[in-house]
Amino acid sequence: MTSTKLEQQTVSSFQLGVIFFAYMTGSSIINIPGPLIGRAGNGAWLSLLISGVMGLCIVACILFLNRRYPGLSFVEYSQRLMGTWLTIVFSIFTLSFLLHMMSGIVLDSGLFMVSSMMRETPLYVFTFLIFAVSAATAYAGIEVIARMFMLIVIVVSIMIGMVLLLALNQYHPSFLLPIMPDGIKPILHGAYFSFGFPYEEIFLIAMLLPFVSKKTSHRLPHTIIFSLILNVLIICVSCLCTIMAFGPLAGKKTYALFSLAHIVEFQEIIQRIESIIGISLLLGSFMKTTVVLYVLSLYLSQLFKLTDNRVFVTPLALLGFMVTLVGFDGSADWIGIVSVLHPVWASAAFVVPLLLVLTVSVFRGKSMDN
């Protein structure tokens, strides 16, 4: 494991863009299309565009604060602007939500494996292994994360691109119409759902921006915005492909890309390739869990003004594992938490503190700059 200290670690803006893309796209590309189409129907792509624009607003706030307080993370400038105690009070929801996010990602991939691929294996086998590997990676630091994720992002993108291309003969473009048979309400419902997961989670990048090297920091806004637009486009394409393949039944598929891979039949040679979507989901979940675990340990250490975040990586991973063991009371209960509770909890955890810090910064920022 690395011996490089936290404050010495740097990544380029391109590497941070890759981490951001991996974190945003990792598990959402497989988990989002089915439930989103279930809410918004054929207008799922419109919902994604709406929530994507709202996500861009969050990015703009974060980039504004980063420009005003270069080299500081969200916790650090929040402490300077609002004071340590107020930051701790507002961080209760943030820390709790980060823990929920981390457990949720791992639980989702474990449930996917248990329900779709390895039905006889206990859930804790998957959750424990994902947490163990993520903890080891987060412990190694952001430089190792950046180097590793580059390769994994390429592999996952090729796998998903391959499935979408091989299913070409199953697509029926006529299924895409009508776009809004029930008016605007389902689209807004879909936008509300997809804003909660994954676009409100953009907030985490505010903790990682100080790691970008000064040499490449001028390219940071373009890289982050490009990564986000690419993420919106890729999830939109996945939704469109799922609708074209399954039509009205698309919303009933929990893991839409997995179902799409299941029906791939190309020249009678390539068929039943759903296992590569299983691999992609595991890789995507691993990447997202690692980033959340890293940010969670960083957030906690900066909140209490400690220098080494690695101390908290393993107990936080253990805590996340325990949440997956006792927090899961059945699939129906879990779907309720993810689809109904998640967006409001995310707003209280990320959007409210961000807007508060932004407001305080606008009113008294200039004096702090000096």
Partner 1 sequence: MERYVVVVIAFGCVYWLDYRHMKKNSSKKAKAIYLMLLLIAFYMGVDYVVNHDWVDYYDVFEAIFKGSAGSIDASLK
Which residues of this chain interact with partner 1, rule CB under 8 A?
A: 96, 99-100, 124, 128, 132, 185, 188-189, 192, 300-301, 304, 306, 308, 311-312, 314-319, 321-323, 325-327, 329, 337, 339-341, 343-345, 348
**Nearest CB to partner 1, comparing residues 40 and 156:** 40
Q: How far is the CB of 84 from partner 1 (least distance, A)?
A: 13
Structure tokens at 157: 């993108």
> Strand, helix or coil at 264?
coil
CA 74 to chain centre: 18
**Nearest CB to partner 1, comparing residues 49 and 311:** 311
Q: How far is the CB of 139 from partner 1 (least distance, A)?
A: 8
Distance CA(334)–CA(288), nearest Å, equals 19
Q: How far is the CB of 356 from partner 1 (least distance, A)?
A: 18
Q: At what angle do helices 313-326 and 274-303 cross, to 10 degrees?
A: 120
Q: How far is the CB of 324 from partner 1 (least distance, A)?
A: 10
Q: How far is the CB of 340 from partner 1 (least distance, A)?
A: 5
**Nearest CB to partner 1, comparing residues 262 and 342:** 342
3-state secondary structure 120-172: CCCHHHHHHHHHHHHHHHHHHCHHHHHHHHHHHHHHHHHHHHHHHHHCHHHCC
**Nearest CB to partner 1, comparing residues 45 and 312:** 312
Report the residue count for the chain. Answer: 370
Q: How far is the CB of 192 from partner 1 (least distance, A)?
A: 6
Q: How far is the CB of 315 from partner 1 (least distance, A)?
A: 4
Give CA torsion, residues 227, 220, 212, 347, to 10 deg: -60
Structure tokens at 8: 């010495």
Burial class for 219, CB neighbours closer than 10 Å (0-12, 13-18, 19+): middle
**Nearest CB to partner 1, comparing residues 100 and 288:** 100
| DSSP symbols for 209-241 | GGGB-TTTGGGHHHHHHHHHHHHHHHHHHHHHH
Tell me how many degrees the CA angle 11-16-19 measures, rounded to the nearest 5. 120
**Nearest CB to partner 1, comparing residues 57 and 322:** 322
**Nearest CB to partner 1, comparing residues 288 and 310:** 310
Q: How far is the CB of 322 from partner 1 (least distance, A)?
A: 4
First-last CA distance in the chain: 40
**Nearest CB to partner 1, comparing residues 55 and 196:** 196
Count of other CB atoms within 10 angstroms of residue 267: 8
